Amino acid sequence: MRARFPERVDQMAQGLMVGDHLADAVVAEFFALGDRTWEQTVGALDTPFDTEGLPPALTAFLESVTTPPPWYDAAMVRAGAAAWWRFGSLQSSTLYQSLIYGYQARGFTRPLVETGRLTTGTWDRVYSTARWVALATAPDMMEIGAPGWVETVRIRLVHAMVRHHLVARQGWDVAAWGVPINQTYSQFTITSGFLALPLRVAKDLGLRYSPAELEAITQLWRWIGSVMGVQDPRLPANFDDATAIYQLAIDFQMEPDEQARVLVKALLDDGFRHDLGLPGPLNAALHTLTRPFLRTVFATVSARWVEPDVAVAIGLRPTPLHHLVVLARPMVRSRELLRGLGLLGSDRTVARRELRLVTSRLGLDLSKVDLGKRYHRADTDTLDTVA
């Protein structure tokens, strides 16, 4: 791989040994000073513009995360969120593929193994990740100080705490394994797992984005990755760049270990819940009855978007049921045709409906978000300019 892509591969190799120096410094300072609780430290995100009286590392961290990089374009990020939520319920369903993607390599799974969370809390992990993705991608929610931005920065600090815990307290072998939650695997997570792969799944299901929409969605996730602490040179500059990073990760032929199989099994066994608004006992009974069938469907369909040898290694077996994706395409395309004709309402209405559908299931109340004020002509102009 280095012979084909020397600069990029060298960058990725170097990134295995790099964490997040700003966030790591906050955690080191927290333990060194000992005069603040973790809640007080993270609570500083609620007032990110007031650093008076805060310790130096936390001050530097807050000043960094509240200063967007030169390439940041708020209108482009809003346009990306608008495009993403045009069919947000479908995009939300790709979360399982994103998680399975993350289980394919030991660099992803080892932190879970070392923290003892290999098979425990699977549903909580799925639920919390789904809430974060919804918050981070919802229109306006990644503006500095907004809920999606705050949650992303909180996760960044939690990653730093995990790094400190593994390296300082559990004897993590950095020389052999690299830094836990390092820059390269963070790059793969954002660019491949949460951007390129979901768009590949959406395309397979029949959803089509214009070139301008793809660029806007890329800038949305580029901004999310930046706030999460991924260094700028490792973030995708455009959609083609994101696709190249995704393909490069595939070409590396990462070899899953037995822990990956355990994680995928736990995801299929305990990674979904029914919530049809029925009384508790009826909902639970329905879940029990349908779970074996749905587990088989999820496993089969998920194998469709995993390299064949990797699918076998992590316990996924393709069956004819994976053709359900093909059967779904006419429905997706018909829905998009109706949307294009304006029969489903304006794009603003469609996005609001999709957002409400997904967030209500996640227990999120974004009723105060006024898409009407943000989903305006400027966003369309941004897409036209990119096109």
Write out the H or E segment, with its range, that includes residue 150: helix 147-164
For residue 158, what are the CA distances in angstroms to 2, 135, 152, 154, 229? 33, 17, 10, 6, 12
Nearest alpha carbon to residue 189 among 73, 92, 109, 263: 109
pLDDT at 384: 37
- The answer to whether 235 and 190 are in contact (CB under 8 A) is yes
Confidence (pLDDT) at 371: 40
pLDDT, position 321: 77
The residues of the chain scoring below 70 in pLDDT are 47-49, 116-119, 273-280, 283, 287, 367-387
pLDDT of the residue at 187? 96
Residue 385, pLDDT score: 35
Distant-in-sequence, close-in-space partners of 18: CB < 8 Å, separation ≥ 6: 179, 182, 183, 231
CA–CA dist 160, 167 (Å, integer)? 11
Cα separation of the two ends of the chain: 32
Q: Which of 128, 129, 142, 131 is nearest to 81 (CA)?
A: 142
94 in helix, strand or coil? coil
CB 201 within 8 A of CB 304: no
